[in-house]
Amino acid sequence: MRTVLGDIAPADLGICDAHDHLFLRSPQLPGQELDDTEAAAAELSTFRAAGGAAVIQWTPYGMGRRAAELPRLARESGVRIVAATGLHQAAHYSPELLARVGADLAGLFVGELTEGIGGTGPRAGMIKVAGGFHGLDRHARHTMTAAAEAQRATGAAIGVHLELGTGALDVLDLLCGTLTVPPDRVILGHLNRSPDLVVHRAAAGAGAYLAFDGPSRAHHATDWRLPEALAALADAGFADRILLGGDTTTAGARSVNGGPGMPYLLRRHRERLVRTLGADLVARFLTANPARAFAADWARAPHHSR
């Protein structure tokens, strides 16, 4: 696995928040930016105290991911951090930025995975892309095509933001059907927001990983259905496809600001799931599954220069 402090064996990952954000800026979230380094450090400290060992930050290119700060935060907290390259939906960027990077997105992604973010910073360990509400627009298709090319070059996993949890099968049709990305290299995010058990089983049956994330925001009407959804997947033989994450996206959601924050995943969310599913199964969701999902054979990745 590729962390901001270097590559590690998947077995060394530990208990992992498989989808979260330490830093995030977007015109879609005015006044709620995650851009306070000390608040990020405090959040990691409370997560570590709750038993956490690793965080996958899904913040992609151009959204204030503060990559230069991540190695220090990882060293001081003792929490392993995996950074992301990739692009979110077009609404999160200026037209000028998209025009500047759009011609060679695959090159950008590969460079950040192999050379470092910004050319000299820590290397990304995954690719983040995004779908739309029940569909894929031109930007999503362009970004996913570039992500597939970068995935073939590096082996990196592709994490997909599903808008309100929708469009999972459309994403798999494009990435794994048209673009031939291996399904076990695809991680579908936010499926808890659309508790369609038929879609969940179809996506897991295709071989993709399913990330159930968002309890750090603790305001989704579907949160109470999560144990039921996970039990249904496990009973169908798909326990090895399940990941859990917090997805803290606003300053007000951080525990240091009075919100549930990253520690909620382990302090409350895990406790509830253990009562329903058992400790052994939940431990797999938090440890063994993310260790497989985000692993890659980085030795085969090219030495890429942009």
Report the percent of the chain where pLDDT is more than 70: 96
Could you read off the pLDDT of 10-44 as tens digits, one per residue?
Answer: 999 999 999 999 999 999 888 889 999 999 999 99
Superfamily of domain 2-299: Metal-dependent hydrolases (3.20.20.140)
Report angle CA 286, 158, 229 to the nearest 5 degrees: 45
The pLDDT score that the predictor gives to residue 216 is 63
**241 token code pair:** 């496809």
Is residue 305 predicted with pLDDT exceeding 50?
Answer: no
Could you read off the pLDDT of 160-210 as tens digits, one per residue?
Answer: 999 999 999 999 999 999 999 999 999 999 998 888 999 999 999 999 999
Distance CA 187, CA 131 (A): 12
Distance CA 300, CA 123 (A): 15
Distance CA 241, CA 293 (A): 8
Could you read off the pLDDT of 262-299 as tens digits, one per residue?
Answer: 999 999 889 999 999 999 999 999 999 999 999 999 87
Task: Give the ranges where the chain is alpha helix by DSSP (H).
Answer: 37-49, 70-77, 95-101, 105-114, 138-154, 168-172, 197-206, 226-235, 264, 270-277, 279-283, 289-293
Q: Which residues of 122-147 are buried (b: 16+ CB within 10 A; e: fewer)?
A: bbbbbbbbbbbeeebeebbebbbbbb
**296 token code pair:** 């890659």
Q: What's the Cα-to-Cα distance from 4 to each of 70, 117, 251, 264, rounded to whole Å? A: 7, 10, 23, 24
Coil vs helix vs strand at 220: coil
Q: What is the pTM of this model?
A: 0.95
Is residue 304 predicted with pLDDT exceeding 60?
Answer: no
Average pLDDT over residues 143-153: 98
H-run or E-run covering 209: strand 209-213
Distance CA 33, CA 144 (A): 26
Could you read off the pLDDT of 47-104 as tens digits, one per residue?
Answer: 999 999 999 999 999 999 999 999 999 999 999 999 999 999 999 999 999 999 989 9
Concatenated DSSP letters for 284-295?
A: IIIIIHHHHHT-
